């Protein structure tokens, strides 16, 4: 077993991402780029939330491929599996086990009001399964096992983090101190990337229009083509305005990728048209993602090395998770 790295001075961070072979530029600029940035300052635990993925029906071979792919992508982005704990959720059985203890301390009504449950059950009326309903309890277990100080989450997961805090507080009040109450982490930078075809919607890989989103692993040509086709507005000037959501979204993306401010960008493209700007954004995004894709292609080829890394990651995670789990079990009154 690899040695446990103890970093007593660092605050702890935990986050998870659902496996998808098609993580988008939105996932990158909104979340993953921050994960990479956080690894120096914090003691980080990152997981591929594969158990959460089956709340929606998955084709087994595709799911397996997506889990590998997502793990490999985390490494390709520059997340260091030595410095951090990087693992696959289902490899640590304490997530599902703690989830049961927490379920018995969570009210039906609390879950029923979760907006994501309401949305997803409307989208998949043929499969409103109990797992979809109790999804936030499993997510609470993911978090609470590792006692993180902070959990970086996007707007769509804030309600789930809130409920994890409620469950933890209640559990601590009933049984005594077991869990740390985590705070949401709002990154200093972090872009909300909208669809390239309809800037009123968030960029999403489930969009039927393939031109609406850019995958982290898209080819350079595809990326440039998608940016060339991005919808812009009527003003024909590169200026950030709320009433001009198309161009503003492109400015947000360009700013997140280059680190330039809106003002600098507006200046840089003063007197230039949308065409020039779209090409610049496309090329810059493609150049940023190219080395990630290159590293990914290398990493995914070597299944043995990958296996070794996720196995070590799971061992490191389990070491921490086990302690919390058994402490909770003992407090509830189980015979250990």
Q: Which are the catalytic amino acids?
A: 120, 202, 205
Shortest Å, Cβ 134 to ligand TRP:
12
Q: Tell which one of 20, 27, 97, 157 touches ligand TRP (CB under 6 A).
A: 157
Q: 48 near 67, Cβ under 8 Å?
A: yes
Whose CA is closest to 131, among 120, 146, 123? 120
Instruction: Give the nearest distance from C-beta 18 to ligand TRP in angstroms.
Output: 5
Where in 13-32 is the site for ligand TRP (CB under 6 A)? 15-18
Name the residue nearer to ligand TRP (CB basis): 31 or 224.
31
* Residue 97 in contact with ligand TRP, rule: CB under 6 A: no
Name the strand (E) or helix (H) holding 276. Answer: helix 274-301
Interface pick for ligand TRP out of 44, 79, 132, 151 (rule CB under 6 A): 151
Nearer to ligand TRP, 18 or 255 (CB): 18
Residue with smaller CB distance to ligand TRP, 151 or 193: 151
DSSP 56: S
Judged by beta carbon, residue 153 or residue 238, the one nearer ligand TRP is 153
Q: Taking the alpha carbons of 202, 204, 207, 210 in that order, is the dihedral positive or negative?
A: positive
Binding window for ligand TRP (CB under 6 A); candidates: 11-19, 306-314, 316-324, 326-334: 11-19
| Among positions 142, 310, 317, 325, the unique one binding ligand TRP when judged by CB under 6 A | 142
Taking the least distance from each CB to ligand TRP, the nearer of 52 and 147 is 52
Cβ count near 173 (within 10 Å)? 9
CA distance 212 to 74: 23
CA distance 38 to 281: 25
Q: Does 84 bind ligand TRP (CB under 6 A)?
A: no
Q: Radius of gyration of the chain from Cα atoms?
A: 21
Q: Does 98 bind ligand TRP (CB under 6 A)?
A: no
Contact with ligand TRP (CB under 6 A) among 38, 48, 86, 139: 139
Q: Residues, the chain, total?
A: 336
The reply to whether 74 sits near ligand TRP by the rule CB under 6 A is no
Cα of 142 vs its chain's centroid, Å: 13
Residue 252 neighbours by CB distance under 10 Å: 20
Q: Which residue has the tokens 């997510």?
A: 139
CA distances from 43 to 9, 87, 145, 162, 189 (A): 9, 14, 15, 22, 19
**Number of helical H runs and strand E runs in the chain:** 14, 5
Q: Rule CB under 6 A: is residue 143 a binding residue for ligand TRP? A: yes
Contact between 289 and ligand TRP by CB under 6 A: the answer reads no
Q: C-beta of 16: minimal distance to ligand TRP in Å? A: 4
Within 39-68, which residues bind ligand TRP (CB under 6 A)?
A: 49, 52
Q: Which residues pair with 184 in a beta bridge?
A: 151
Closer residue to ligand TRP (CB): 16 or 98? 16
Binding site for ligand TRP (CB under 6 A): 15-18, 49, 52, 139, 142-143, 151, 153, 157
């Amino acid at each position: 077993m690899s040695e446990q790295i103890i970093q007593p001075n660092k605050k702890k961070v935990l986050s998870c991402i659902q496996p998808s072979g098609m993580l988008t530029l939105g996932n990158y600029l909104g979340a993953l780029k921050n994960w990479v940035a956080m690894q120096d300052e914090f003691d980080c635990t990152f997981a591929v939330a594969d158990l959460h993925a089956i709340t929606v029906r998955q084709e087994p071979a595709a799911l397996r491929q997506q889990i590998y792919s997502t793990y490999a992508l985390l490494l390709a982005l520059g997340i260091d599996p030595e410095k951090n704990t990087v693992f696959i959720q289902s490899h640590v059985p304490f997530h599902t086990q703690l989830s049961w203890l927490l379920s018995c301390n969570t009210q039906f009504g609390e879950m029923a009001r979760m907006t994501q449950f309401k949305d997803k059950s409307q989208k998949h009326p043929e499969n409103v399964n109990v797992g979809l309903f109790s999804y936030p309890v499993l997510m609470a277990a993911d978090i609470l096992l590792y006692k993180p100080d902070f959990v970086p989450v996007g707007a769509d997961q804030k309600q789930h983090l809130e409920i994890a805090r409620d469950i933890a507080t209640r559990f601590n009040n009933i049984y005594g101190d077991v869990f740390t109450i985590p705070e949401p982490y709002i990154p200093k930078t972090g872009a909300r990337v909208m669809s390239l075809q309809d800037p009123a919607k968030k960029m999403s890989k489930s969009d039927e229009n393939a031109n609406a989103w850019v995958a982290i692993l898209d080819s350079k040509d595809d990326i440039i083509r998608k940016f060339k086709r991005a919808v812009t507005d009527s003003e024909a000037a590169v200026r950030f305005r709320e009433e001009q959501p198309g161009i503003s979204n492109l400015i947000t993306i360009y700013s997140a990728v280059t680190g330039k401010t809106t003002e600098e960008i507006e200046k840089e493209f003063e007197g230039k048209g949308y065409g020039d700007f779209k090409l610049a954004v496309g090329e810059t995004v493609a150049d940023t993602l190219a080395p990630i894709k290159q590293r990914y292609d290398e990493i995914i080829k070597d299944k043995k090395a990958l296996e070794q890394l996720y196995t070590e990651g799971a061992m490191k995670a389990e070491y921490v998770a086990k302690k919390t789990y058994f402490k909770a079990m003992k407090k509830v009154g189980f015979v250990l």
